[in-house]
Structure 1
């Protein structure tokens, strides 16, 4: 029987594993981003590598949801983290032999493929581990862990990378992934009901059909919510993931330490966003997501205006930092509450597959945003306000246009759907 406590043993081991995994993963990706930008100086190449790594993830993620609903979720997580550790170890051994950019590209692809299977599994585990009244808080904790990792890892990444180079970061990440696999071995979950007599083709056909029928006929509001989340992901991936490091390192000419400090500050902002959702769990309603969406757009306006005014690099850096911190807080609130809404409307036997749809749609938007914004920032490097300000205005328009949908959206999974 599921404990009424938030931090029961299963959820505690899950969170500890996520901390270890995310600290290693984020530290590695931060160091790799600095390495690629320093070696090439190109936002387009940097964005292209990130985008290319996501393409296999988009194609494979739906199968990750099927695996999460039909296999032992604990063993899936253990196997995937062990494979991630092995992949990073092989990359660390191959990097000194040359073709470093190619090795990094292959590693990013492999890690993204493994994440396509792990992300829906972790998200499907949360409602299974916690009672219904604790699920929103549980999702908030998962987001806070991610935010804490994003706060700590830029400091760790810049420290290790500046002092020792890229190689020690690889080995530290290997240790983190293997520790995660060990912690996940301690999780105990009831077996997932599965029709083992079906063949692989029948399983794929039936599961995809059941998921599509559920989303199209029973809960079309989930599809609308996913599309809005994908739009937000498109702009955030472009401006924050690609634009922010490029603006700090290339346009403003500041050091990796400045970027690391900024990433840590944005991690604090994301933690505050998760805490806000957890504290206001009983008062937060779907209609409040309109204000969150508008906030994402409004954050980009002062960031762009900073490059119109005759300001120093340091002043522009501080304005960018403040704007993107608020943006990060809004993203944390939006994602935590949206996932909880979707979980509340989804039956247990479809949880993994629907969560994989969430992950897939988000992933579809991210590489497109990264590619487009990488090219835009390279093209308008001397006038980046022409990228940031229009992006903010478009987000504000989308937020206003979705106000009616959010106002009609209800939390209870038994409610009729628009």
Structure 2
């Protein structure tokens, strides 16, 4: 029953991510075409993430206290209704304001959904299956990243923004139907009075600060990955391809699809290697993220045409996505394996919160930097790559100690 429910969970994630990522791809193309500014684009993305940052701890509490199946069903239904309302409001004018409001609404719902979905994996699986389950979830996300840019570019170019909105509404409603069929195993509950919200959060902070300080440090490193990836890839990739190189949405869609393939390969590697993947080797995946940014900057120093620079960016960002996939899958599996069930939702909310705190900072910073260095983007990419490489090298001792404390990844 648990494996059947895990399959339904994966199918629901496929439907939800397909609608969500296709929608966000189309929205990003629309905003960039209307404004032509990396700062406006990055600022809108960063503003839309603030609710997730602020509300994720409450999402973790909800995941540990409520029926996770009912929570996921309700959140996907609300997501579909939010997109439906935005689609109906677009013809009334103030399109950028409407898009911003939609992104904020989806961000509020994501604050509650992300820790709930992540907490369901160790509830449905156990042992080494947790690592393989997280690898499967990661591959689903990567596959969606592979398909959605093509779907988004074709649908947006051929039909415009509103049909993409209707497709996203359908995907959210299908996800809710799939999640309604989930059967989650009963959870162990502590005897006696249920703790208050303050006690609940204090218990979680005590666990991270005293019992498992290595998890907290791992979360901080994951936040650094999120900061640089959100800045250099999420903002940099569309800005560099569309605005700096002047290429069409089709070129950017192809790049997103290729990066999706790289993410799938990262998940496949984790799934195949399993327990043979050593935790002490994760510093290399971190350093690889920085190493990818250096040739990206170098391409703009050399006398290359737009197509050649595009190929360099494509290759580097693909390796970056592969390393990020390996790092994030292993990091989340380590955290889940070392966290008791009663704290799973709250700890997963900390994962979301720290990641989401880093993303707006990275997006705003890189959006401003890319605008300031519009003709000299190598001044942004090369120093960033060197800094990330240095952080990766410095973290090698930490990962070795973390492996000695609790075993392999």
TM category, shorter? over 0.9
Aligned to 1:166: 161
Aligned counterpart in structure 2 of residue 185 of structure 1, from 180, 183, 194:
180
RMSD: 1.5
Residues 181-202 of structure 1 deviation map (CA, whole Å, 9 limit, x = unaligned): 0000010113445579968xx5
Aligned counterpart in structure 2 of residue 34 of structure 1, from 16, 25, 29:
29
C-alpha distance in structure 2 between counterparts of 1:192 and 1:94, whole Å: 42
Aligned counterpart in structure 2 of residue 346 of structure 1, from 339, 346, 351:
339
Residues 369-388 of structure 1 deviation map (CA, whole Å, 9 limit, x = unaligned): 00000000001010000000
Which 5+ residue runs of structure 1 have no aligned equivalent? none
Aligned to 2:7: 12
Q: Which has the larger helix fraction?
A: 2
Aligned counterpart in structure 1 of residue 290 of structure 2, from 297, 302, 305:
297
Contact 1:151 1:268 survives alignment (8 Å): yes
Which 5+ residue runs of structure 2 have no aligned equivalent? none
Map 1:176-325 to 2 at 5 A. 176-192=171-187, 203-325=196-318
Give 3-state SS (helix, strand or coil) of 1:188's partner: coil
C-alpha distance in structure 1 between counterparts of 2:287 and 2:184, whole Å: 40
Describe the shift of the 1:106–1:131 C-alpha distance in structure 2 as closer, same or farther (beyond 3 A). same
TM-score, normalising length from structure 2? 0.97
Aligned counterpart in structure 2 of residue 77 of structure 1, from 48, 62, 72:
72
Contact 1:65 1:121 survives alignment (8 Å): yes
Residues 246-297 of structure 1 deviation map (CA, whole Å, 9 limit, x = unaligned): 0000000000000001000000000000000111112111111011111111
Aligned to 1:400: 393
Aligned counterpart in structure 1 of residue 46 of structure 2, from 51, 57, 61:
51
C-alpha distance in structure 2 between counterparts of 1:21 and 1:280, whole Å: 28
Whether 2:400 is the aligned partner of 1:373: answer no
Contact 1:70 1:192 survives alignment (8 Å): no
Deviation at 1:130, TM superposition (A): 1.1
Contact 1:47 1:370 survives alignment (8 Å): yes
Contact 1:344 1:412 survives alignment (8 Å): no
C-alpha distance in structure 1 between counterparts of 2:300 and 2:282, whole Å: 29
Aligned to 1:327: 320
Contact 1:70 1:194 survives alignment (8 Å): no
Aligned to 1:94: 89
Whether 2:151 is the aligned partner of 1:156: answer yes
Deviation at 1:206, TM superposition (A): 1.4
Aligned to 2:99: 104
Contact 1:211 1:353 survives alignment (8 Å): yes
Deviation at 1:76, TM superposition (A): 0.5
Aligned to 2:122: 127
Residues 200-244 of structure 1 deviation map (CA, whole Å, 9 limit, x = unaligned): xx5211110110010011000001101111111111100000011
Deviation at 1:131, TM superposition (A): 2.4
